[in-house]
Amino acid sequence: MKPKVKFGFTLIELLVVIAIIAILAAILFPVFAQAREKARQTSCLSNSKQVSTAIMMYVQDYDEIMPIAVSYPNWATWASLVTPYIKNWDIMFCPSGGQRLQQTWNTPPNQNAANWQFFVQYGYNWVYLNRSQADCSDFALGPSYLGGPPTGLAAIAQPAGTVLLTDNGMKTPDKNVGTSLSYAPATLTADDACGLGGWGLNATLWFPANAKATSDYGFYYPRHAEGGNIAFCDGHSKFMKPGQLAAGTDWNINKTQDQVHVIDRSQYIWDLQ
């Protein structure tokens, strides 16, 4: 009588298979994560484009005048002003952006559009699109609480080369939470506008929730592969890294905001020239 033959894997063979699976997982999981983030980046770019289109529709309806960044005394932000042109409020927030409200506001009574308008994750180039004179003589006068009067579209010499919105978020106290505003890199040292700060290491900046937060990039937030999505005043959007967005200045990550200056106006994409 023939002995029964047992078929199966030895312990060593099983360990080899497990090791191969572990190696494949280690290789593929980061690839899958990168693919998911790339999809979120593309969705964010679409959001940026849609929000910029809404702003351009607003501009056409209001005699080609850009929105007020923060109005007074009703405390409406530009995001609130363009809401009628947006069907889905969710496009005001980046898919990679995390929570929508500062932690201290993140309770059911505060979770509404009236408060979310202060924390949207696309920041408006308020320094130049609500430009105040360099001597600050017209800062926060009339309906504009921040900056000067809203800029007319005709005053923007190169709409396709002038920043309208950036991916937006703070460094502290709540990482990724938006502020609705973006500061131009050389705002603090500019000779053609009055501002409250600019790009600089751990810079403390004001935003319209009547609060302050820190940022290295003037509330621009490079959350996508060390870069972010930028919308321009002609309505188009594209991905840019910090160095590209700070073109025309002497900015680097180690400088404080009072050390950043415009050195080439022809390359500076924030002002109206």
Q: What is the pLDDT of residues 102-148, one digit of tens each?
A: 888 888 888 887 888 999 999 999 999 999 999 999 998 878 888 99
In a domain, 157, yes or no: yes
User: If 0-12 CB within 10 Å is exposed, 13-18 middle and 19+ buried, where does residue 236 land?
Assistant: middle
Question: Tell me, what's the pLDDT at 37?
Answer: 74
| 10-residue stretch averages of pLDDT, the chain, 273 residues long | 60 80 76 73 96 97 96 90 92 91 86 88 97 91 88 96 97 92 94 92 91 95 95 97 98 96 97 94
Residues with Cβ within 8 Å of 106's Cβ and at least 6 positions away in sequence, in order, are 99, 100
The total of other beta-carbon atoms located within 10 Å of residue 230's CB is 25
3-state secondary structure of 58: helix
Answer yes or no: is 156 within a domain: yes
Q: How far apart are the first and last CA of the chain?
A: 97
- Please check whether residue 5 lies inside any domain of the structure: no
pLDDT given at position 32: 58
Domain total of the chain: 1
CB 143 within 8 A of CB 72: yes
For residue 27, is it within any domain? yes
Assigned domain for 267 exists: no
58 located within any domain:
yes
Q: By the 8 A CB rule, do 219 and 179 touch?
A: yes
Between CA 167 and CA 58 the distance in angstroms is: 20
Residue 82 lies in a domain: yes
In a domain, 145, yes or no: yes
Q: Which domain holds residue 206?
A: 12-106+113-259
The model's pTM: 0.87
